């Protein structure tokens, strides 16, 4: 009876053991690979396959995951190092390298420690590229320098399954003496630019002053010309007005002279002028000869006219 109980207990434990064995087998054989990662599987020490993202199966105790590679872009700091430029200036340079694994198989079996390898390659390539450039060019053409380094690294790292996306130089530190010389040069350049700008300002100011004086002279000449034209026009108009007035006066005198009263007025005026003329002669000479017919008005007028003509001729 005891033997039967033992047999029944043994038979009852077999399904439990098989269930546990199946669970363990499934756990060891099922592998979930995360996104942007790759598992490399070896069978009996030899490469068997590459498991990509998703659900994958391996043979337990026979297959072994030997490498877990990230396919994401990685950033690696390139340590500071010394480099000598084409003009024999020692620089301290550091940077950042961005790359990603394209082929997990080559990254695992093509090189030992691919991160270290690509970092060392970046350092040597950077020293080589800096040796082809002068000091001033390293600051002016940093983008071109980065492009050349990336191109050279990709050419050398292709067998490793690595793609270098970009390389960025963080700092380029020249020696202290070179920095002092560069600062002095920059100061001299700033002083030079300031002097050039000041001289340009003075030249422009002189040009502006000359233009202003020129315009002032032109405006003054135009103003004087306009003034002279206006003055001449005014004088001409005044002469014309005087001539018109004299002509009008003569015309009126002529009209008045055609009348008897006018003739008498003319004779009276001439007589008055004759008397004034005789007074003038009397002032100049102590002796005055008066004709017998001096009382005659016509004779008096004639004499007055003669005396006036003589005085005018004498003057």
List pLDDT tens digits, range 216-272: 888 888 888 888 888 888 888 888 887 787 777 767 766 766 666 666 666 666 667
Dist CA 167 CA 180 (whole Å): 29
Q: Among 125, 200, 204, 212, which residue's Cα sits nearest to residue 169?
A: 125
Q: Tell me the residue ranges of DSSP E strands in the chain.
A: 30-33, 37-43, 46-51, 54-57, 63-70, 74-84, 90-101, 162-173
pLDDT of residue 5: 53
Dist CA 247 CA 185 (whole Å): 91
pLDDT of residue 100: 92
Q: Which stretches of the chain score pLDDT less than 70?
A: 1-14, 16-17, 250, 253-254, 256-271, 273-315
Residues belonging to the chain: 315
Dist CA 226 CA 219 (whole Å): 10
CB atoms within 10 A of CB 58: 19
pLDDT of residue 271: 67
Give the position of tokens 């700092």.
171
pTM of the model: 0.52
Give the position of tokens 């020293």.
127
pLDDT of residue 99: 92
Give the sheet arrangement for strand 74-84, strand by strand.
Answer: 74-84, 90-101, 162-173
């Amino acid at each position: 009876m005891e033997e039967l109980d033992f047999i029944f207990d043994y038979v009852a434990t077999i399904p439990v053991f098989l269930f546990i064995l199946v669970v363990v087998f499934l756990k060891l054989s099922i592998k979930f690979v995360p996104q942007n990662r790759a598992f490399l599987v070896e069978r009996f020490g030899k490469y068997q396959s590459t498991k990509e993202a998703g659900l994958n199966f391996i043979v337990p105790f026979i297959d072994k995951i030997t490498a877990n590679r990230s396919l994401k872009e990685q950033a690696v700091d390139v340590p500071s190092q010394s480099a000598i430029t084409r003009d024999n200036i020692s620089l301290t340079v550091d940077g950042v390298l961005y790359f990603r694994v394209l082929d997990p198989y080559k990254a695992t079996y093509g090189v030992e420690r691919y991160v270290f390898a690509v970092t060392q390659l970046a350092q040597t390539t950077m020293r080589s590229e800096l040796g082809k450039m002068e000091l001033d060019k390293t600051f002016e053409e940093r983008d071109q320098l980065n492009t050349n380094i990336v191109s050279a690294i990709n050419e050398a790292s292709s067998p490793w399954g690595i793609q270098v996306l970009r390389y960025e130089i963080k700092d380029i530190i020249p020696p202290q003496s070179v920095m002092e010389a560069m600062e002095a040069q920059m100061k001299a350049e700033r002083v030079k630019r300031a002097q050039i700008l000041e001289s340009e300002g003075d030249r422009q100011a002189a040009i502006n002053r000359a233009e202003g004086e020129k315009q002032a002279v032109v405006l003054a000449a135009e103003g004087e010309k306009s003034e002279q034209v206006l003055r001449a026009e005014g004088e001409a108009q005044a002469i014309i007005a005087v001539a018109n007035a004299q002509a009008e006066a003569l015309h009126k005198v002529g009209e008045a002279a055609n009348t008897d009263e006018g003739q008498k007025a003319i004779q009276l005026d001439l007589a008055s002028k004759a008397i004034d003329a005789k007074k003038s002669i009397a002032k100049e000479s102590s002796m005055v000869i008066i004709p017998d017919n001096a009382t005659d008005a016509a004779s008096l007028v004639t004499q007055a006219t003669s005396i006036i003509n003589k005085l005018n001729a004498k003057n």
